[in-house]
Amino acid sequence: MSTVPELLLTPQEYLARERQAGFRSEFYRGEMFAMAGASWQHTLIKDNLSRETGNRLQNGPCQVVTSDLRVKISATGLYTYPDLVVVCDEPQFEDQVQDTLLNPLVIVEVLSDSTEKYDRGTKFSHYRQLPSVHEYVMVAQDRLLIERYVRQTDDNWLLTVFGESAATFEFASIDASIPMSAIYRGVKLPDDGNH
């Protein structure tokens, strides 16, 4: 009994397909994985954080971009779309199309039920392989909770948790502090009903 070999894509084939597609897909080890759409809560948090961060960085060298820009982790071959990235050095791209970033400094993911395990585990292990990444931030959408991991000089990652509505979230790698209330503006959280 024989099996039909699975046809795997090269990164170039993936990019050619992805650039023509009407939806976004991650790519890893020859396979494309379609990404689900985001919820209202997820989108509000991402957009609030992007706007607030961008406003604080507008007079400096850093730039904030959201999930429309693909990031490649060269060491592992993963192509993915983080919810938000910050770049402070000259952006480096995989090719002349300039839609695949190679050197984010900060990566932010807004967690959802369907992606939380992946974002915390496998995806974080990929992000750690990217030398430019010094900070990984995970933002809960069902409660006031932001977890900030910062790369240390020994390549370990230090966790700081932000979890109160009166608190201020502070990035470690860039000069930006944002009230939690601004990040969660307009978001109805299940535990308080009035946020």
Q: So what's the pLDDT on residue 6?
A: 66
Q: Tell me the pTM.
A: 0.89
**Could you give phi then psi for residue 105, rounded to 5 degrees?**
-90, -45
Rounded to a whole number of angstroms, the distance between the first and last alpha carbons of the chain is 60
90 alpha-carbon distance from chain centroid: 19
Give CA–CA dist 50/170, Å, rounded: 14
Tokens of 138: 């995970």
Query: Would you say how long the chain is, in residues?
Result: 195
**Please, which contacts does 124-131 make with residues 24 or more away whose CB atoms are closer than 8 Å?**
124/149, 126/73, 126/76, 126/78, 126/80, 127/73, 128/157, 129/73, 129/75, 129/76, 130/71, 130/73, 130/74, 130/75, 130/103, 130/104
Q: So what's the pLDDT on residue 191?
A: 63
Q: So what's the pLDDT on residue 193?
A: 45
What is each CA distance from 107 to 7, 8, 59, 170, in whole angstroms? 32, 28, 20, 14
- 52 closest CA partner among 159, 160, 146: 146
Tell me which DSSP letter residue 93 carries: B
Q: So what's the pLDDT on residue 161?
A: 96
User: Which residues lie closer than 8 Å to 50 by C-beta, 6 or more apart?
Assistant: 64, 66, 84
pLDDT means per 10 residues in the chain (195 residues)?
A: 69 88 85 84 95 94 92 96 96 95 97 89 95 97 95 96 91 96 93 50
Tokens of 194: 């009035």
Q: Answer whether CATH 3.90.1570.10 is correct for domain 38-183.
A: yes
Q: So what's the pLDDT on residue 192?
A: 54
Tokens of 21: 């597609």
β-bridge partners, 122: none
Tokens of 158: 């230090």
Q: So what's the pLDDT on residue 33?
A: 86
